[in-house]
Structure 1
Amino acid sequence: MNAGADIGYGYNVAIEKLAEELAVPQDRFDQAEKRYKDLGEFLHRDESKVRIYDPEVYIQGSFALGTPIKPASKDEDYDLDIVVSFRSLTKLQISQADLRALLLVELEAYRHARGIKNEVGESRRCCTLAYAEGAQFHMDILPAVPDEANMRTVLSSHLADQALAEGAIAITDRDKPRKYHVITDDWPRSNPRGFATWFKSRQIEQLNERRRAFLNAQGKVTASVEDVPVFRVRTPLQSAIMILKRHRDEWFAERDPDLKVISVILTTLSTHAYAGEARVSDAIAKILRDMHLAIEERNGVSWITNPTDPSENFADRWEKFPERRKSLFEWLEVARMDFGTVQRFSWNRLDVI
């Protein structure tokens, strides 16, 4: 093996090791699964005031995609994003405000039943349940109602795959009070399940290869790979996103954290750029080279299309805050230099990522 090959091998090993160090332990995934399933069971108990609305509780965000990273310190929490979809309600039966009020009553009951001391919080779209200090978990709980029919219409109008509409939801947004307090068909949309389906489709070969290996290790050779959740394995795309998240966190921590590239943008651009690379180092190189290509310019407006809702622009805040767009490209240039090619790679930089 020549010197260049030695360096390349060492770089690949270091990248794989970094991904392993950033990975959330499987027992944390188990805890997350246990927590949201426990909430779902609680909402279906006999005394529940929302049981008649058939609430479905499921996970979304990085835990659903298998891309969360360990908190950088004990002072930080695992952010567990949860959807509570009331499947027997529609937008024309209840206002956003009343839907959230229903959920808040049950979350308060859940908090007392489970001995959680922290008050239930609220943000623009979610309710927040923070567990005891030391648990390092908080749940951002998104109240919703089904919205598949509306999403199919949107996808059809954009000539997009209507299959992605499965699981689409309408959600609450208290920052828009004129629509929040009245019964209307005009609710904000979301489609976390559709996004997870798209995410899987972009890496299906590598994902299924690792699912098969997982089943073989468990002695379940006859089970279907589809039975293995995405978070039970780690693909090159997942590892690459995790590493880039940590690099982003460290870089923006020394600057203005408010300008930090949001995870949905980093994940979407990375997933678009990924081309099935089998090694994490190759995936990172491809992503950093091409991730900007999924950023369009429409009539002078930067546009990052939500792959499951073509009418939504993930970069919609950039027009009001152009410094956010600038910060993405500044971080991207630094990341390209930091990871670079094997020949130019700085081992000291890797140590501080």
Structure 2
Amino acid sequence: MKQSFDDFLRNTVSLDETRMNRVQRAHHFVREKLTAIDEVAERKTGRGTYLQGSYPLHTAVRPCDENEAYDVDVVLAADFLKEAGRMIPGMRVLRWLQDCLESIGTYQDKTTRKSCCVRIDYESDDQRFHLDIVPAHRPNTLRGPIKIPPDWSQSDPRGYIDWFRSQCDGDDWLLHVVRLLKYWRNLQGITPNSMILTTLAAHHSPAEAGSLDDALVKTMSSIKDWMQSQTLGRIEVHNPSMQGEDLARNWPAHRQRRFRNRLSVALETAEEALDSTGEEDTINLWNQPELFDGTFPKTVRGLAEGAKEKAAAMGSGGLAVGPSGQVSTGPDRSGRDVPDNGGFYGDK
């Protein structure tokens, strides 16, 4: 199913090139204009802005519904201390940031103040997305933990990015498994949030997997087993870049139970799909409502039959590779002009 999963990721799950280009233009523009404002330039640290979340992690997924919005997070790192050494109240900083953004003509009447960020909404005929601008207290360097409003709690988005990239190093499947799990979660309309799901996937990624679907099933199985060993409502998922932070602290027990139950049902079907030997049956299983609900590629390529034919020919000695590199299983050509080295041309 390699080609089917490649097509699924490229054409359905991952952000398409049009969306990626729009996002790139949008975040470059707002970062340039925002940091050019005198009040911001006086406070900003270093270059002042950077990206956080799924976009720099390369785990962003396309909305299941084309009318749904997707988001990108931009951090504004600055010094928000008063002259007396006390922090400026978080809500005041958010109002200030909103005023700064509204002063850029492009964003007038297009911003919304959220609990810890200011949101800019973008809409067009074919897609919607928004940029969330997060003011962060980080006066000396862009590296290390930041403090974010409204209560100036600590976070370390860059540390998390570094950690996840280190988990992907040497793991051929993790990045794609995270995308597939996030897309599946969105189709099912369940929690947890992306940071929890990404962390769980990284912690439960298999040491060995023969293919992407094998890695996906093994990751799902490991997460399910771990959740069944935990007490719902007391589950903790520690932030790898800030061990003192429990990412699951606001994940209610009833939503944990729903996720665990949906995962168990999906896993049963995914294991059946992985064990299936018929291409049509396998495609049908991946398209079941508990899995990818009709969004998985439905093209039957007949690749399995070709592979079986070649395997049988190899076992009977009827497989030959010609000078052009073409593999032959036909009785009229197999064995003809076969080199003495066992049927293969070229250097050993």
Q: Is the TM-score greater than 0.5?
A: yes
Q: RMSD across aligned C-alpha pairs, in angstroms? A: 2.9
Amino acid at match of 1:50: V
Structure 2 unaligned regions, length at least 5? 288-293, 296-348
Using a 3 Å threshold, how does the CA distance of structure 1 residues 107 and 273 change in structure 2: closer, same or farther?
A: same
How far 1:201 moved relative to its partner?
A: 0.5
Using a 3 Å threshold, how does the CA distance of structure 1 residues 171 and 15 change in structure 2: closer, same or farther?
A: same
C-alpha distance in 2 between matches for 1:20 and 1:133: 22
1:142 aligns with 2:134: yes
4+ residue segments displaced more than 6 Å = none
1:244-259 superposed matches below 5 A? 244-252=181-189, 259=190
2:261 aligned residue (293, 317, 330): 330
1:284 matched residue in structure 2: 216
2:302 matched residue in structure 1: none
C-alpha distance in 2 between matches for 1:195 and 1:285: 25
Contact 1:269-1:292 within 8 A present in 2 as well: no
C-alpha distance in 2 between matches for 1:334 and 1:65: 29
Contact 2:80-2:87 within 8 A present in 1 as well: no
- 1:283-323 Cα offsets, whole Å, 9 max, x none, are 212211212566685998211111111111111124xx310
Using a 3 Å threshold, how does the CA distance of structure 1 residues 266 and 147 change in structure 2: closer, same or farther?
A: farther
Q: Give the number of the structure with larger relative contact order, counting CA–CA contacts within 8 Å between residues 6 or more apart.
A: 1
C-alpha distance in 2 between matches for 1:282 and 1:89: 51
Structure 1 unaligned regions, length at least 5? 1-10, 150-164, 174-179, 181-186, 207-234, 253-258
Using a 3 Å threshold, how does the CA distance of structure 1 residues 315 and 265 change in structure 2: closer, same or farther?
A: same
C-alpha distance in 2 between matches for 1:53 and 1:292: 46
1:44 matched residue in structure 2: 35
2:146 matched residue in structure 1: 169
If the length of structure 1 is used for normalisation, what is the TM-score?
0.70
How far 1:265 moved relative to its partner?
A: 1.4
Using a 3 Å threshold, how does the CA distance of structure 1 residues 293 and 311 change in structure 2: closer, same or farther?
A: farther
User: What secondary structure sits across from 1:301 in the alignment?
Assistant: coil
Contact 1:126-1:140 within 8 A present in 2 as well: yes
Using a 3 Å threshold, how does the CA distance of structure 1 residues 15 and 313 change in structure 2: closer, same or farther?
A: same
1:102-141 superposed matches below 5 A? 102-110=96-104, 113-114=105-106, 116=107, 118-134=109-125, 135-141=127-133
Q: How many residues align?
A: 276
C-alpha distance in 2 between matches for 1:44 and 1:122: 19
- 1:141-172 Cα offsets, whole Å, 9 max, x none, are 211112899xxxxxxxxxxxxxxx93321001
C-alpha distance in 2 between matches for 1:273 and 1:264: 14
How far 1:28 moved relative to its partner?
A: 3.0
User: What secondary structure sits across from 2:38 in the alignment?
Assistant: coil
1:54 aligns with 2:71: no
1:101 aligns with 2:95: yes
How far 1:117 moved relative to its partner?
A: 6.1
Amino acid at match of 1:329: R
Using a 3 Å threshold, how does the CA distance of structure 1 residues 237 and 74 change in structure 2: closer, same or farther?
A: same
Amino acid at match of 2:191: K
1:193 aligns with 2:158: yes
